[in-house]
Each structure stands twice: as C-alpha cells, then as structure tokens.
Amino acid sequence: MSAAAKPSILAAEGVNKTFDGFKAINDLNFSMDEGELRTVIGPNGAGKTTFLDLITGRTKPDVGTIRFGSEGVDLIRKSEYEIYRLGIGRKFQTPTVYTDHTVFENLLLSLEGSRGVFATLFSRVTPAQRDRIREILQTIGLSAKEDVKAGSLAHGQKQWLEIGMLLAQNARLLLVDEPAAGMTDEETAKTGELLLSLVGKHSIIVIEHDMVFVRQIATKVTVLHQGHVLCEGTVDQVQSDERVIEVYLGRSKKH
Amino acid sequence: MQKTFSVSELITVFVLAVIAIFVVPCLNSMVPQTSFFYISDFAINLWGKYLCYAILAMTVDLLWGYTGLLSLGQRLYFALGGYMMGMYLMRMIGSLGQYHMPIPDFLVFLGWTRLPTFWKPFDSFPFALLMMVLLPGFLSLVFGFLAFRSRIRGVYFSILTQALTYAACLLFFRNNILMGGNNGFTDFKFMLGHDTRTASTQRGLYIASAFFLLIVYLGFKWLTGTKLGKVQRAIRDSENRVLFSGYAAANFKLFIFVVAGVVAGLAGALYVPQVGIINPGEMATDQSLEAVVWVAVGGRGTLIGPIIGAVFVNVIKSWATRAYPDYWPIILGGMFLLVVLFLPGGLVGLFGHCVNLVKHSTKKPDLTAEINAEVEAEPAAPVAAAATATGTHNPSE
C-alpha cells in the first residue's frame, strides 16, 4: 500500500463470504493506516455491513485473513467480545444504547476495566473513572445529560452517546455504521465535527450514504461494489470515476 | 450513581420485616384465641407457604424482569430443593410408617428391604442441606451453560426451560428412580428433632421462611445495584451492545441463572415441610406458568412486585379454589390478560401511577415553579452527583 511508512491498523486480504450462494464479499482486499478516517460507500447490498460483521466476528469469512494492528492479530480466530477487548468498537446503524441506564452508567459500562462476572460484582467507581467519563461527556456534548436515562435522549444524542461509549472503551478502531441516518442537518454537521475531532487519536471507518456528510468528513473514500473494492481515492476522484458513476446510475435505472 | 438503599426504603423494609418475623408469630402464640388480633395456626401455615412462593417469584423476576430471560421452569428448581428436603424428612420418619419398617413406606411397597445406597446420606441434615443447594445449582449450571453457549434466546429459551421441566416431571412420576413416584413423599413426622405436625414447629418454619425472604430481598437488592446488576439489565435491553462492549454476556446470564436456581431450590426446601408433601405435580408445567403470572401481576423488574404478586394471586387462589373451584383457571388467565393489556407495570406500576396522579392534581399551580427548579438544577447536577459520589464511594478505597 502507498503509505507504507505508517503502521497499518487493519488489513483484510482475499476475504470471501457467501450466504446461501450469494457472494456478499468477493475477494476483498482492504487496508488502512493507524489514525486514519476512512469512509466506505457503495450501493445497497455492496457488502458494507457484512464487512463490519466480518471485522467484529459476527460472521466468519469462508476464506481470507483480517489482521488488526501492527501486531497483526488474526481476528478470524477471535470471538466477538475478545475482538472488542482488543480495541475495536462498533456503532450500529440504529442507536444501540442501554435505554434503562443513565448516560453516565452507559459510559461506565463501556469504560475499560473489569469485564468478568465476579470482578463486576465487587467493582467500585473510582474518581479516575469518573473524570474520564466527564471528559467523554464533554467531547460528545452531553455533559448536561449525565443523569438522564438514555432511553429519553433525542435520536442524535443517542448516536453521540454510542460514539462516546466506543471512546470509553478506548477503542483504537471505531466502526461507525451510517451515523447520520435519521439526523437533522444540524445534528449531522455536529456528528461530522465530532468524528473529525477524533482523527489521529483513533482510527475510524465510517459507512455512509449521505454524500454531503461524506464530503464534510472524508479524506479518503473506498467504494464497495458487489463485495469487492471498486476504487479508492478522494471524494472528487471517486465521484468522477466512471465505474462508480456506472454502478450508482446503473442501479438507479432499474428502479 | 444512586445509593443502594434509600432511607425511606430501609425503614419500610425494616418495619415489614419486624411485622413478618416477630409480630405475626407473637399474635399466633401469645394472644388468646378469642382475641380479634389472634392469628390461627392455619393462617400461619398458609402465610409460610405464600412467603416461599414469594421467594420463588423473586427468582423468576431476577431472570425475567432484570435479565430478560423468561424461564418457564423455575418451579423445577423449587421442586428439586423440595425433594432433597423430602428425602431427609422421609428418613426422619424412621420406623413409624405404615409398614413399621426402617425404610420409607413406598420402598417397602416396591419390594425393597434395604435402603438404596443413594438414600443413605440423607439421614444427615447437613448433607441434605448441601444437596438442596447443589442439585438445583448443578442442574441450572449445566442447562444454562448449554443454552447460553448455544445462544438460545427469547422464546426458544422459554420453551426449552419448559421442556426440561416437563421431562423432569415425567421422570419423577416413574417408580423405578426410587423417588416416590406418583405419590411423592408425604406423612412427614420429624425435622431436626421437632415434630413437624405441631403448631410451634410450623411457626418456626414460617419464621424461617420470612427471614429467608428478607435475606433474598436484601441480597437481590445488593446484587442488582452492583456493576454486575447494571450489566444484567444492559443484557436485557441490548445484548448485542453488551457483547460489543467486551462482556461475555453468556457468563453473566449463567451466573444469574444459577443464583436463581439455588435460591428457588432453598425456597422449595422450606416449602415442603410446611405443606407436608412433595410430588411430581409440584413441577408440572402449569405450576411454573403460575409463577410467571405472579410476577406479571405484582410488577416485573421490581424487587417488591413479585412478593406482592405471589401473595396477592395466592390469596385469591385460596379463596377461589374453595368458592369457585371450576373457575380458578379462568380467573387466573383473566388476571394475566388484564395485566398484560392494561397494567404492564403490574400492581406496583398501578400504585406508582396513582401516586403520580395525586401529585399532579395537587401540584398543578406549581408547575412553572417546578420547571424553573429543573432548569436551575441542571447546571448544579454534576456538583450534586459528585456529592453523592463522595457519599457512596470512598475515594481512598
């Protein structure tokens, strides 16, 4: 890959995944650098969400390797919770927070630390943890909502809380699935700012449909099509790429 | 962070515990029978039974209300605990049975002259007590391990718990497992040297049940307040998120499932000497379903709800099965429907709703003041939280 100087955070090679004869992922090769923000776009059914499922161990590939970090840990042999303990955090398409817990408790449960059954039975909140949670609340702009139940937050706020939960996990790689879906323009812009503020400290993969949003955040875009990387480059490069235009327009003709 | 116990709650629990553990037994033993306040031996016995049901209901709620695991088989663990107690009680009959043999009557009836080997240790109460904990604990550990490792969730989990209960029920009906078959164990005479047929022993068992209920209440209160309790409710609300936060959700569910199994088993062990019989009918599927109805009626996801529900439904049952025995299943089903359709929070939820209504109707003129107070309180919230933090969590720990 071009940026050989920088350590790679994620490298997928020759990954294939078939569901009932449908090739969801077809010989996928993907690599990104530590601290990079990468946007993945592609038409419906291009395999974007399946790609995230493969990284997070939700499904296992038929063939291929997915390696994480400079140590090159093989993710395929790990279970879901082990993968998350390695430092990969995922934000789902629909906000997935603990609705019956307060915002503070949501972050507390995500915070690095005790994860075992008996360890959690006797763990106490330390002042350091409290400070860390306050810091994250500041970052995601929810300081005033600390003691509010997450279930009563607005849609956008839930999305930010979920991003905050990934930060609390101290995830090195954030997988963010359509963060702008269902948001107002203002919320979308704020989400973009939030993600941009994390670049460098975290590596981020964003899956998105909204091209205005992609333009706001993207430096490098990967286009997926039929489970395969179609092309990579800046927003302008991919938007002027003939294959990309064909894929998107070709699809829209069918509708 | 909230404190585990609020002052008003502590006082309420304390008062109720004193009434249940001290006042009620005194009204039974020290007040003359002619007095208005006298509580009959029959009533004490009945309430001891209700309290055991209440403990069973709490275990159902710990699984269903707090972890999102609807177990339709809690009665199985209850019955297994009961059977272990029953084995001990059968041994304590000695040679006083119908056949005047040193082994239980049903074994004589089956043609045995010696005690089967696995019955022998049940002469010892400590061993029986150990088995009351171990057998329900072991079964729930094995079943839970297999079910949670295979990621069996939701309705499939419920069906499996019920199937296991039914299988166990059929097994216990068989004579050749030497557990009393169809008739089970009955005709108990002594427990720890006391005659179980006397009022004073029954009173003691009632007190033990009330005391155990208090312990279980406080224990569950503590458990659900820990970080484990938070993970537990997080699993209920979003199991995927829990997995993706790096928790092995299956291990947490297994722990809770075993705790619920063991507590249910001990409740069953207290129940058997009070009702004087244990047979496979105790683990019939409809019995387990009834326990779910108690929790739904009382209010799931609360600690007090299952207690209220178990007592409420059983008081009605005691009356209905005498007054209208044919209609009891319809009354029970009707209650369940009513709660599901109109009272999702159960009786506890209804009570909370009424309290809110009263508050609102009296506080209406102050509405703007309330809003102002809320706005003012918001910037101060972190300070308040910090204050409670230093109150509950000692930083020097």
**Residue range B162-173, pLDDT digits in tens:** 999 999 999 999
CB A140, CB A164: distance < 8 Å: yes
Q: Nearest Cβ partner of B240 from A96, A110, A169? A: A96
Mean pLDDT of B233-241: 91
Record: contact A84-B246, CB cut-off 8 A: yes
Q: Has residue B246 got a pLDDT over 90?
A: no
Q: Has residue B124 got a pLDDT over 60?
A: yes
Q: Has residue B194 got a pLDDT over 70?
A: yes
Is the Cβ of A105 closer than 8 Å to some Cβ of chain B?
yes
CB A90, CB B244: distance < 8 Å: yes
The architecture (CATH level 2) of A8-254 comes to 3-Layer(aba) Sandwich (3.40)
Which one is predicted more confidently, B218 or B6?
B218
Longest dimension (CA), chain B: 83
Please report the pLDDT score of residue A29 as a whole number: 92
**Residue range A39-58, pLDDT digits in tens:** 999 888 888 889 999 998 88
Measured CA to CA in angstroms, residue B258 lies from B21, B126, B254, B255 at distances of 28, 21, 6, 5
Amino acid at B47: W
**Residue range A62-98, pLDDT digits in tens:** 999 999 988 888 888 888 888 888 889 888 888 889 9
Rounded to 5 degrees, what angle do the CA atoms B347, A148, B7 make? 55
Please report the pLDDT score of residue B138 as a whole number: 97
Mean pLDDT of B6-10: 82
B68 in helix, strand or coil?
coil
Count of domains forming chain B? 1
- Residue at B71 is within a domain: yes
- Residue at B332 is within a domain: yes
CB A245, CB A221: distance < 8 Å: no
Domain residue limits at B157: 7-344
Minimal-distance CA residue of chain B relative to A85 = B246
Which one is predicted more confidently, B296 or B285?
B296
Question: What is the sign of the dihedral through the CA atoms of A59, B252, B63 and B165?
Answer: positive
Tokens 């047979």 locate to: B279
- Residue at B217 is within a domain: yes
CA distance B233 to chain A (A): 8
Q: How far apart are CA B247 and CA B241, in angstroms?
A: 9
- Residue at B391 is within a domain: no
**Residue range A196-240, pLDDT digits in tens:** 998 888 999 999 888 888 888 878 899 999 888 988 988 888 888
Q: How far apart are CA B74 and CA B288, in angstroms?
A: 6
pLDDT category of residue B256 using cuts at 50, 70 and 90:
very high
Measured CA to CA in angstroms, residue A163 lies from A56, A106, A111 at distances of 16, 11, 12
CB B106, CB B181: distance < 8 Å: yes
Q: By percentage, how much of chain B surpasses pLDDT 90? A: 68
User: Other CB atoms closer than 10 Å to residue B42's CB: what's the count?
Assistant: 10
Q: Length of chain B, please?
A: 397
Q: How far apart are CA A143 and CA A158, in angstroms?
A: 13
Enter the tokens of residue A123: 């763990």
CA distance A112 to chain B (A): 9
CB B316, CB B308: distance < 8 Å: no
CB A41, CB A224: distance < 8 Å: yes
B124 in helix, strand or coil?
coil
Q: How far apart are CA A92 and CA B140, in angstroms?
A: 33
Please report the pLDDT score of residue B362 as a whole number: 67
- Residue at B372 is within a domain: no
Q: Has residue A6 got a pLDDT over 80?
A: no
Q: Has residue B377 got a pLDDT over 50?
A: no
Q: Has residue A169 got a pLDDT over 80?
A: yes
Q: How far apart are CA B228 and CA B60, in angstroms?
A: 18
Average pLDDT, chain A: 87
CA distance B331 to chain A (A): 33
**Residue range B213-235, pLDDT digits in tens:** 999 999 999 999 999 999 999 99
Please report the pLDDT score of residue B298 as a whole number: 94
Q: How far apart are CA A41 and CA A222, in angstroms?
A: 6
Q: Has residue B378 got a pLDDT over 90?
A: no
Average pLDDT, chain B: 88
pLDDT category of residue B302 using cuts at 50, 70 and 90:
very high
Q: What is the DSSP string of A134-153?
A: HHHHHHHT-GGGTTSBGGGS
Domain limits, chain A: 8-254
Residue of B105, B127, B115, B81 lying closest to B278 (CA atoms): B81
Tokens 């084995």 locate to: B87
Contacts of B230 in chain A (CB under 8 A): 101, 105, 108-109
User: From the centroid of its chain, how far is CA B87?
Assistant: 22
Predicted ipTM of the assembly:
0.79
CB B39, CB B24: distance < 8 Å: yes
Mean pLDDT of A112-116: 82
Q: Lowest mean pLDDT: which of A112-126, A140-154, B51-65, B330-344? A: A112-126
Query: Residue B253 class from Cβ within 10 Å (0-12 exposed, 13-18 middle, 19+ buried)?
Result: buried
Mean pLDDT of B24-40: 88
Contacts of A104 in chain B (CB under 8 A): 1, 385
- Residue at B371 is within a domain: no
Q: How far apart are CA B389 and CA B177, in angstroms?
A: 56
Q: Has residue B301 got a pLDDT over 80?
A: yes
Q: Has residue B259 got a pLDDT over 90?
A: yes
pLDDT category of residue B339 using cuts at 50, 70 and 90:
very high
Please report the pLDDT score of residue B214 as a whole number: 96
Q: Nearest Cβ partner of B247 from A81, A127, A146? A: A81
State the DSSP code for A102. B
Chain B residues within 8 Å of chain A (Cβ atoms): 1, 223, 226-228, 230-231, 233-234, 236-238, 240-249, 251-252, 255, 378-379, 381-382, 385-386, 389, 393, 395, 397
Please report the pLDDT score of residue B384 as a whole number: 38
Q: How many CA atoms lie within 13 A of B208 on its CB side?
A: 16
Q: Has residue A23 got a pLDDT over 90?
A: no
Q: Nearest Cβ partner of B241 from A98, A127, A143? A: A98
Mean pLDDT of B329-352: 90
Contacts of B385 in chain A (CB under 8 A): 104, 146-147
Q: How far apart are CA B261 and CA B58, in angstroms?
A: 11
Q: How far apart are CA B394 and CA A106, in angstroms?
A: 22
Q: How far apart are CA B279 and CA B173, in angstroms?
A: 8
